[in-house]
């Protein structure tokens, strides 16, 4: 099946620092999404990207849909303690596979005050 | 804010027993999904459901699994004869369209002994 390689696996940063994480795939996705998961909870959608090259912001978060449609990155600027959690990228192929998301392995973010 | 609700939050069962996990999707949503997450691993697609039938299912979703929308509000996942490797967090998700912007519930943790 399709695999998403997400990196880094974990990050330990100081409050106020910027964070960058990315996902790559060997195959094309029509939609890229970034989710955050807090302990014991379900993933929560942060940003959705629909077009190659698209750059979208949501507050301190910025994500881009790669030109090749095989990659995406997420940046978090000026991190705060509540940014702690696991961040997942997810790709959707489209066609008849709506809602069938392929998730990356996740990036565990720790923010030290 | 509307949300996807799941019950039970945690279920412990003996191997070979049947388990039913329940979900109430967001009321105006039309597409429903089950995903699972084995502890420490990524979220994996199990099945999608639309118009009262399965749209797509993964290799994980074998004959031991079934889904049902019995009454227009609940969406259930049944595992007929649980195995140790079925131990995981099971997430229900729903959406109103085909964008891939899924709303996830908080999950049901299944422990098979």
Q: Dig out the tokens for A69 from the structure.
A: 């449609």
What average pLDDT is seen over chain A? 93
Cα Dmax for chain B: 39
The rounded distance, in Å, linking the Cα atoms of B25 and B37 is 19
What pLDDT, on the 0 to 100 scale, is given for residue B73?
A: 87
Contact across the interface for B48 and A98, Cβ inside 8 Å: yes
pLDDT at A1: 58
Across the interface, which of A50, A98, A103 has its CB nearest the CB of B43? A103
Residue of B nearest to A48 (CA): B101
SS3 A88: strand
Q: Which residue has the higher pLDDT, B73 or A97?
A: B73
- What proportion of chain A, given as a percentage, has pLDDT over 90? 85
* For residue B32, pLDDT beyond 70: yes
By DSSP bridging, strand A107-112 and strand A10-14 are: parallel
Give pLDDT tens digits for A39-63. Answer: 888 999 999 999 999 999 999 999 9
**Contact yes or no for A31 and B105 at CB 8 A:** no
Q: Which two tokens stand for residue A60?
A: 């301190």
Nearest CB to A99 within list B33, B41, B42: B33
Helix, strand, coil % in chain B, rounded to nearest 5 = 5, 50, 45
């Amino acid at each position: 099946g399709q695999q998403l390689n997400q990196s880094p696996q974990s990050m330990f940063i100081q409050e106020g620092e910027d964070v960058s994480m990315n996902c790559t795939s060997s195959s094309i996705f029509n939609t890229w999404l970034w989710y955050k998961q807090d302990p014991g909870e379900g993933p929560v959608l942060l940003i959705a990207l629909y077009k190659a090259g698209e750059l979208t912001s949501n507050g301190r978060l910025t994500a881009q849909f790669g030109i090749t449609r095989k990659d995406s990155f997420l940046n978090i600027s000026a991190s705060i303690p509540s940014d702690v959690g696991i961040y997942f990228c997810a790709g959707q192929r489209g066609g008849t596979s709506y809602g069938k998301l392929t998730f990356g392995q996740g990036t565990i973010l720790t923010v030290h005050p | 804010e509307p949300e996807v609700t799941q019950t039970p939050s945690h279920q412990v069962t003996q191997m070979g027993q049947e388990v039913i996990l329940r979900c109430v999707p967001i009321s105006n949503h039309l597409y429903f999904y089950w995903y699972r997450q084995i502890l420490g691993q990524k979220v994996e697609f199990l099945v999608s459901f639309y118009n009262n039938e399965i749209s797509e299912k993964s290799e994980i979703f074998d004959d031991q699994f079934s889904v049902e929308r019995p009454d227009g509000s609940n969406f259930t996942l049944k595992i007929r004869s649980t195995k140790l490797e079925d131990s995981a967090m099971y997430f229900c998700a729903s959406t109103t369209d085909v964008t891939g912007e899924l709303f996830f519930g908080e999950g049901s943790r299944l422990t098979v002994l």
